[in-house]
Amino acid sequence: MTAYLQLLQRNPAYSRLWMAQAISLLGDWFNTIVLAALVTSYSPEESRGLAISGLLLARTLPPLLFSPFAGVLVDRFNRKRLLIASDVLRAIVVLGFLLVDSPSELWLIYLLTVIQFVLSTVFEPGRSALLPNVCAPEDLIGANTLGSITWSVMLAAGAAVGGVVAGLVGPSTALVIDSLTFLVSAALITQVRLRPAVDIPRADGMPHRRATFIDGVRYLLANPDIAVTTLVKFGGSLGSIDLLMIVYATTYFVVGPEGTVSLGILWSAFGLGAAAGPLVLNRFNDGSIRTMRRLIIVGYAWITLGWLLFGVAGSLAFAAFGLGVKALGSNVYWTYSSVILQKRVPNEYLGRVFAIDMSFFQLSGVLSTLVVGALVDTLGTSQARTISLGTAIASLVPLVLWTVAVIWLERRERVTLPAS
């Protein structure tokens, strides 16, 4: 961890952006358990799987639909100001959850969640596109690794702390704290000083055009190595781990009111496992594109193993262990695919490429949530382990496809491009 502390110490701009990310993510995950518990308690048992799926879809479907527009905004306008606006508006929206106090107002949870995550759509591609403006090229791996670890730790801390605070002082206080986190994040971003990004030559010879979504698609079609990389998050996120964690916590291993304690433990295990992924593999990472592609294969393999362990889990501890293994792989593919894009994509296209990257990720989440939610309602919550084992088998598909893609890209680049 010394290298990451040194990165923060020598780069105040990145330090502030990193702290803003951490606090904003804490807010995102802080209300997860509160809202999941409210949806569970306000929905009838026979449609609970659909109700929980609805909450997850409210978090994933808006970013999927809005990401193309968000990417254009990130490439056309001041990225720093967009991040600040995203935080301030989310602080206001989260306070709206305080109005929900009966089953008849369940719809308001879905509506406000949709609005919150439409606003969040701007934040992540904007932050990723801003990294080359606050970090030197040689610091991108460390910055993305720390960002991924932060995401994981905040997932764990946000879920656990949110559950504890909601249990001790009630969901209303938890939601007020959630709102304040976004305001603190906005305040930190106002202090970030940017520097010019290192220019990346256009390998396709295409002229620069006005930032439009179609132009971004043309760029991907002209650069198949970048296009394939934007599909990495899609393949790695197949299967609704969030939905199955909720089912496990509220059906198999119920600890605390409505399973909030067991759900916090499972989310924490996932977050802590994800924090270890890049730390384990970074010792084998020489910073080259070729090496990171190969390490993504390892990450995919860990995901398959994690799903398998989660599917056969007979105790809360073993389920948490399986989640940790899956999370190891999830953070590896997320970190290294992001670094590859930052190293290969010209600055004027970064916002749109990361937005498309996130769109594929969200599409995978939406499809997975729909399928898994339908399976839970059809087969019953008692078959959640079977669904997890089926997901383990399905996860072999992206593992094989990415392995084939890496072989194809390496053969292609031996003829046309340098290996680094």
CATH number at 223 reads 1.20.1250.20
Query: 198 falls in which pLDDT band (50, 70, 90)?
Result: low
pLDDT in tens, 239-298: 888 788 888 888 888 887 767 778 778 877 887 787 776 677 878 888 889 999 999 999
102 found inside a domain: yes
Query: 210 falls in which pLDDT band (50, 70, 90)?
Result: low
Q: Once rounded to an integer, what is the mean pLDDT over residues 377-402?
A: 91
The three-point CA angle 222-131-189 to 5° equals: 135
Q: Residue 403: its pLDDT value, please?
A: 96
Give me the domain span that covers residue 19.
10-194+212-416
Comparing 51 with 345, the larger pLDDT belongs to 345
Helices H / strands E in the chain, number of each: 18, 0
**Rounded to whole angstroms, how far apart are CA atoms 359 and 350?**
14
Please say if the pLDDT value at position 29 is more than 90.
no
212-226, 263-277, 284-298, 302-316: which range is least confident on average? Answer: 263-277
Long-range CB pairs of 183-186 (<8 Å, 24+ gap) are: 183/87, 183/88, 183/91, 184/20, 184/23, 185/20, 185/21, 185/23, 185/24, 185/27, 185/87, 186/20, 186/83, 186/84, 186/87, 186/88, 186/91
Instruction: Look up the pTM and report it.
Output: 0.75
Please say if the pLDDT value at position 78 is more than 80.
yes
Q: Residue 341: its pLDDT value, please?
A: 92
Please say if the pLDDT value at position 207 is more than 50.
no
297 found inside a domain: yes
- Main-chain dihedrals φ then ψ at residue 314, nearest 5 degrees: -110, 5
- Domain count of the chain? 1
pLDDT in tens, 161-185: 777 777 777 778 888 888 998 999 9
Query: 302 falls in which pLDDT band (50, 70, 90)?
Result: very high
Q: Residue 292: its pLDDT value, please?
A: 93
Please say if the pLDDT value at position 395 is more than 70.
yes
Comparing 152 with 82, the larger pLDDT belongs to 82
5 found inside a domain: no
Please say if the pLDDT value at position 18 is more than 70.
yes
User: By the 8 A CB rule, do 63 and 117 touch?
Assistant: yes
**Rounded to whole angstroms, how far apart are CA atoms 3 and 280?**
14
Q: Residue 419: its pLDDT value, please?
A: 45
Question: Tokens for 169?
Answer: 């002082």
204 found inside a domain: no
353 found inside a domain: yes
101 found inside a domain: yes
User: By the 8 A CB rule, do 377 and 247 touch?
Assistant: no
Q: What rounded mean pLDDT belongs to the chain?
A: 83
200 found inside a domain: no
pLDDT in tens, 115-160: 998 898 888 888 888 888 888 888 888 888 788 777 767 766 666 6
| Burial (CB count within 10 angstroms: exposed 0-12, middle 13-18, buried 19+), residue 168 | exposed
Task: Find, among 307, 126, 333, 312, the residue nearest to 236 by Cα.
Answer: 333
Please say if the pLDDT value at position 13 is more than 50.
yes
What DSSP designation does 287 have? S
**Rounded to whole angstroms, how far apart are CA atoms 350 and 339?**
12
Please say if the pLDDT value at position 201 is more than 70.
no
387 found inside a domain: yes
Question: Tokens for 62?
Answer: 């808006």
**Rounded to whole angstroms, how far apart are CA atoms 89 and 330?**
30
